[in-house]
Amino acid sequence: MKRTIAVLILAMTAPLIFSADIKKLPDAEKAIMDSGDHWRLGFYDQVRRFEAAEKKFKETLGPRAPEKFMIGIQNSLDKTPANKYAFKGNYTDRVKITAARNEYESFQVAVIPYMGKELNEVTIKAGQLKQSGGTGVIGDSNMNIYCVGRVKIINSIRPAAMSDQLWPDPLLPNKAISAKKMDLALFWIEIKVPADAVPGDYTGELKLSADGEMVPVKIDLHVFNFTLPDRVPFPVAVWTNNPVKGDMDLYRKMFLEFLKHGIDPLNAGKDTWKIDSNDFTEFDKTVSFCLEQGLQVFEIPGVSEKNSEKLKPLYGHLAEKKWLDKAIVYTNADETDETTYETKNIPFYQEMKKLYPELRIFAATEHHNNIDKGCDIWLNDLSTGRGMDFASKNKGNATLWNYYCGLPINCDLSAPLEDAPQMMVERIGVEHRLPFWIAWKYGVKGIFIYAGNDAVPKKIADDGSLWEENRPTHWPYSGYLNGDGFLMYPPYVPSIRMKIIRDGLEDYGYLMELQKRLPQITDRKIQEKAEKILEVPDQVMIDTHYFNHNPEGILGTREEIGGILDAVTKK
């Protein structure tokens, strides 16, 4: 026993050796020598890992290796820290991705200075992709490149998930950026495969330059032999505010950015018509514009029991325009308890149905008795009441949607909020994509996210590359809502979360296509595999609060679906 303890003490006190001399480490590195990264990897091992990556990168590229930096490739679900030593992707100049026709697919490129090096000007330019052994071409206009900005989260509820609390999220226009001290330069690359693209394998490259050194980043893309619709038929709704009051052209630009990501801005209807007005000019212009861009649902102004008849002009207009199937209105009281639901929401619903039988009413609330007597669309939070399985079996005649909000009220919880996926900045990327697999598994017909841009973080860099979020709430919410209430940065700057949400929506499209093609699968083993995927396999999730945090769970299952559909189509 004494000998075992002595050996342990010796191991703990023995000097750790790596090729970099501690005394020669740059000052910035010395300042964090006693810390760990977002994986809790100590800085000693960060440096050891960094040196090994640098050595292998130079050996792999040989004479093509740049003198001051290496290249890192990361998937679209892992959020990349600013600190270059904490990078956990692949150190390579090549990326391999897959996509269906009419699908967006993204990845990240990190330009990582060697130890002690800095970069003043890093740029990436798009290039075209050419089909291997064919004539297909995906032009450079189908490739969008963004510089990744960051949000400083103060009072984080998840400090371990990003050690410096500089969360990547805002996506800024492509331009030259720098990588100073221990930072890396990070770009988000998005490829839109045309709907008429020839299926098969494509190759091409990005043109990367850093302080005069040119290194191409090679892209291998496989295009699956099936096509996603322009908009997967599954509503994803948010509330919005006009960033500049009265500027409807700007508001429509913001709506357009949401719609590009498959997100329905409910206020396209709610904010463009006023109670008691017979002027539908702005309403028609905005709603028509959004419907042309794929809008699936919009909200109209809310009313109370006392003025419910004031919607009659609009109801008649919606019927005339044949838009009633797209219109919804919120109930008269938000997130109610059992008593208020019975005495306020249900009577309101009954009155509204007498006046407007085809108008759907939606409500966010914990499950109550007679839930379908007070709403047509029930917004159910994953953690409230008795859980998703209960909600899916006890929705009555209501249509079940899931509700993503940082702190619901008037509820009890079936499990910790922190264990369920959410849409806030300080959550891992898997959490923004998993809701669509949850929706498939439990028969959920839509998603509501609070909110599109109802809250705005503080801008602390003129170029929009750095924001700060520190928003405590008080009674009755009582907590921190960092990143809750916004997916977009003003006036209409998209976020990484929006990209991941769209990817999740496309996953739902994959599942729809697999279900449609299931009768065509004749191989029994492949059929069984497809059936298990359609049940949502354990490698993706066990339940809403116990799921795979490794992106490979979702990404690998998506690849399996693509492979099955490829094989079915070829036959």
Domain carrying residue 172 = 8-227
Residue 241 — φ and ψ, nearest 5°? -125, 145
Same domain assignment for residues 215 and 245:
no
Same domain assignment for residues 393 and 343:
yes
Q: Give residue 221's pLDDT.
A: 98
Q: Which of 61-65, 413-417, 452-456 has the lowest mean pLDDT?
A: 413-417
CA distances from 448 to 142, 254, 350, 377 (A): 29, 18, 24, 11
Tell me: pLDDT of 484 over 70: yes
- Which band of pLDDT confidence, cut at 50, 70 and 90, is reported for residue 54? very high
Domain membership flag for residue 524: no
What is the pLDDT of the chain when averaged over all its residues? Answer: 93
Same domain assignment for residues 158 and 53:
yes
Taking alpha carbons only, the member of 37, 255, 80 closest to residue 169 is 80
Provide mean pLDDT across the span 355-377: 97
Tell me: pLDDT of 10 over 50: no
Q: Give residue 417's pLDDT.
A: 87
User: How many domains, the chain?
Assistant: 2
Q: Give residue 21's pLDDT.
A: 67
Provide mean pLDDT across the span 268-285: 95
DSSP 152-215: EESS-S-GGGSTT-EEEEEEEEP--EEE-TTB-EEEEEEEE--TTPPSEEEEEEEEEEETTEEE
180: CATH: 2.60.40.10
Provide mean pLDDT across the span 305-316: 95
* Rg of the chain (C-alpha set): 26
Provide mean pLDDT across the span 285-300: 98
What are the residues whose beta carbons fall under 8 Å from the beta carbon of 437, sequence distance 6 or more?
A: 504, 507, 511, 536, 540, 541, 554
Domain membership flag for residue 189: yes
Q: Do 373 and 346 contact (CB within 8 A), yes or no?
A: yes
Domain membership flag for residue 537: no
Same domain assignment for residues 431 and 474:
yes
Q: Write down which residue in 496, 518, 538 finishes a domain.
A: 496
Same domain assignment for residues 244 and 223:
no
Peptide bond preceding 476 in cis form (omega within 30 of 0): yes
The CA distance from 217 to 541, in Å, is: 34
3-state secondary structure string, 279-295?
CCHHHHHHHHHHHHCCC
Q: Give residue 20's pLDDT.
A: 56
361: CATH: 3.20.20
Same domain assignment for residues 23 and 148:
yes
Same domain assignment for residues 196 and 286:
no
Tell me: pLDDT of 247 over 70: yes
Domain membership flag for residue 549: no
CA distances from 488 to 53, 297, 492 (A): 35, 19, 6
Domain membership flag for residue 127: yes
Provide mean pLDDT across the span 224-243: 97
Q: Determine the 3-state secondary structure of 526 from DSSP.
A: helix
Q: Give residue 474's pLDDT.
A: 87
Domain membership flag for residue 552: no
Q: Which of 13-27, 75-89, 274-288, 378-392 has the lowest mean pLDDT?
A: 13-27
Tell me: pLDDT of 384 over 60: yes
Question: How many residues would you count in the chain?
Answer: 571
Provide mean pLDDT across the span 133-156: 95
Q: Write down which residue in 445, 463, 496 finishes a domain.
A: 496
Same domain assignment for residues 103 and 218:
yes
Same domain assignment for residues 256 and 380:
yes
Same domain assignment for residues 275 and 344:
yes
Q: Give residue 407's pLDDT.
A: 82
DSSP label of 307: T
Tell me: pLDDT of 257 over 70: yes
Share of the chain above pLDDT 70, in %: 96
Same domain assignment for residues 427 and 398:
yes
What's the first-to-final CA gap in the chain, in angstroms? 67
Q: Give residue 15's pLDDT.
A: 46
Same domain assignment for residues 219 and 257:
no
Q: Write down which residue in 479, 496, 513 finishes a domain.
A: 496
**Each residue of 17-51: pLDDT tens digit?**
455 567 778 888 888 889 899 999 999 999 999 99
Domain membership flag for residue 504: no
- Phi-psi label, residue 67: left if phi above 0, alpha if psi -120 to 50, beta otherwise: alpha
Q: Determine the 3-state secondary structure of 459 from DSSP.
A: strand
Domain membership flag for residue 550: no
Share of the chain above pLDDT 90, in %: 84
Q: Which of 177-191, 197-211, 389-403, 461-475 has the lowest mean pLDDT?
A: 461-475
